[in-house]
């Protein structure tokens, strides 16, 4: 089902789009692609779709979700409209997915990590250093293996459409520069208290590195760092910047320890209320928005790191030997979780990675 949407959208009519960015202080991001496809002129009902996001209005996720809404509006003559609620206004990822189940929220785009509650195999994306390059990561996300995991949401009250990019996760803290696992553990001093997502594999990574991991909802992280409840956190550079974490974090390390996708998903109750023609359009728009978001996230990543340095964060770029030390330190995570996640699934993904890297 999902594979049909990988091909470029058929050009039946083009509508130009002008999307103003929510914030002037952004990189030179690509404009949204033209909105293509036939306009549904028949009145199949009007719906306002409420989308809850964890990230801020300056994030690639928010910008691409606005594009998703513009597609629906343009191609239904305004009968499908999208209201976006950023910055965890409606709750964290776990809470918003529960709202999809009850039908009290129409859509959300969470990280895969909290979504493992519904599809345990998604924890494969939490394994450290599994996807070493963005090219390999995208090849995996577009594969039948990864798309098949989205079908496993069937029966949960949630319909999953496509993967977006959250990105490579990097470590920040307010205590000391981190160049090695020993800096995380602290040999003569205490290990760093690091916020992780509410996910057991992520906790295992930081336990293996000698930190004191603390699972916490994203919306609580800034104040917890500001108050000294935790020393640091790990997220992509773009999220670190748009969340203003540099105001309470002095040090960053380019660890790239996990590549995390987002999943664009809808309440099955909302889905079932839509006419089949609207359903097809929503799925098409979800894939178009996903492709645009991945492009934006790629453009945003290095720029965000450089911005953080300009704003005073001391960032350590790890060389290959330093990264190898981190990879070796987290090997126990594979030993612990591979049997549960599925050794065949991991091997299939590693094969895609190898093929991409050696292409």
Instruction: Measure the CA angle with vertex 242, ends 238 and 246; round to 5°.
Output: 90
Q: What pLDDT score was predicted for residue 105? A: 98
Q: What is the pLDDT of residue 25?
A: 64
201 near 131, Cβ under 8 Å? no
Q: So what's the pLDDT on residue 359? A: 84
List the beta strands (DSSP E) in the chain. 14-15, 35-36, 47-52, 80-85, 107-108, 158-168, 170-173, 193-196, 212-215, 232-235, 251-254, 259-267, 314-317
Spatial separation of the C-alpha atoms in residues 37 and 34, rounded to whole Å: 10
Give pLDDT, residue 312: 97
Q: Residue 257 to residues 192, 232, 315, 355: CA-CA distances in angstroms?
A: 16, 15, 15, 21
pLDDT tens figures, 253-287: 999 999 999 999 999 999 999 999 999 999 999 99
CA angle (125 as vertex; 119, 127 as ends), nearest 5? 120
Please tell me the predicted confidence (pLDDT) of residue 188: 65
Distance between CA atoms of residues 304 and 242, nearest Å: 9
Longest dimension (CA), the chain: 70
User: Helix axis angle, 343-357 relative to 331-341, nearest 10°?
Assistant: 120
What domains appear along the chain, each with residue ranges and CATH number? 10-122+137-165+261-303 (3.40.190.170), 170-258+306-357 (3.40.190.170)
For residue 131, the tally of other CB atoms under 10 A from its CB is: 27
Tens digits of per-residue pLDDT, 77-126?
A: 999 999 999 999 999 999 999 999 999 999 999 999 999 999 999 999 99
Beta carbons of 185 and 210 less than 8 angstroms apart: yes
Spatial contact of 63 and 17, defined as CB atoms under 8 Å apart: no
Q: Which of 184, 178, 246, 245 is nearest to 218 (CA)?
A: 245
Q: Which parts of the chain sit beneath pLDDT 70?
A: 1-25, 187-189
Please state the three-class secondary structure of 99-150 as a single string. Answer: HHHHCCCCEECCEHHHHCCCCHHHHHHHCCCCCCCHHHHHHHHCCHHHHHHH
Residue 143, pLDDT score: 97
Cβ count near 152 (within 10 Å): 14
Q: Helices 320-329 and 331-341 sit at what angle, rounded to 10 degrees?
A: 50
pLDDT the model gives residue 26: 72
């Amino acid at each position: 089902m999902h594979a049909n949407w990988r091909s470029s959208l058929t050009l039946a009519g083009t509508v130009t789009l002008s999307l103003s960015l929510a914030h002037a202080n952004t990189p030179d991001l690509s404009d949204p692609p033209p909105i293509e496809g036939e306009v549904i002129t028949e009145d199949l009902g009007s719906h306002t779709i409420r989308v809850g996001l964890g990230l801020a209005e300056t994030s690639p996720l928010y910008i691409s979700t606005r594009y998703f809404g513009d597609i629906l509006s343009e191609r239904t003559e305004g009968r499908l409209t999208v209201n976006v609620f950023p910055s965890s206004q409606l709750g964290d990822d776990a809470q918003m997915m529960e709202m999809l189940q009850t039908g009290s929220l129409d859509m959300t785009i969470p990280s895969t990590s909290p979504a493992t509650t519904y599809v345990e195999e998604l924890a494969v994306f939490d394994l450290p250093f599994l996807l070493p390059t963005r090219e390999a990561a995208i090849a995996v996300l577009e594969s039948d293996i990864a798309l098949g995991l989205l079908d496993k949401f069937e029966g949960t009250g949630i319909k999953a459409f496509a993967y977006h990019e959250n990105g490579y996760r990097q470590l920040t803290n307010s205590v000391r520069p981190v160049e090695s696992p020993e800096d995380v553990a602290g040999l003569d001093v205490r290990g760093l208290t690091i916020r992780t997502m509410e996910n057991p594999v992520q906790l295992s990574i930081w336990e293996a590195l000698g930190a004191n991991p603390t699972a916490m909802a994203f919306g609580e992280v800034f104040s917890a760092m500001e108050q000294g409840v935790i020393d640091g956190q790990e997220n992509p550079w773009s999220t670190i910047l748009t969340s203003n974490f540099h105001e309470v974090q002095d040090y960053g390390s380019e660890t790239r320890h996990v590549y995390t996708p987002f999943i664009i998903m809808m309440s099955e109750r909302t889905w079932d209320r839509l006419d089949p023609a609207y359903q097809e359009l929503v799925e098409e728009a979800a894939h178009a928005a996903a492709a645009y978001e991945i492009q934006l996230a790629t453009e945003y990543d290095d720029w965000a790191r450089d911005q953080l340095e300009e704003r005073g964060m001391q960032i350590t770029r790890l060389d290959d030997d330093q990264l190898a030390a981190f990879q070796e330190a987290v090997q126990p995570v594979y030993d612990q979780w591979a049997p549960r996640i599925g050794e065949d699934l991991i091997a299939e993904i590693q094969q895609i990675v190898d093929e991409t890297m050696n292409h």
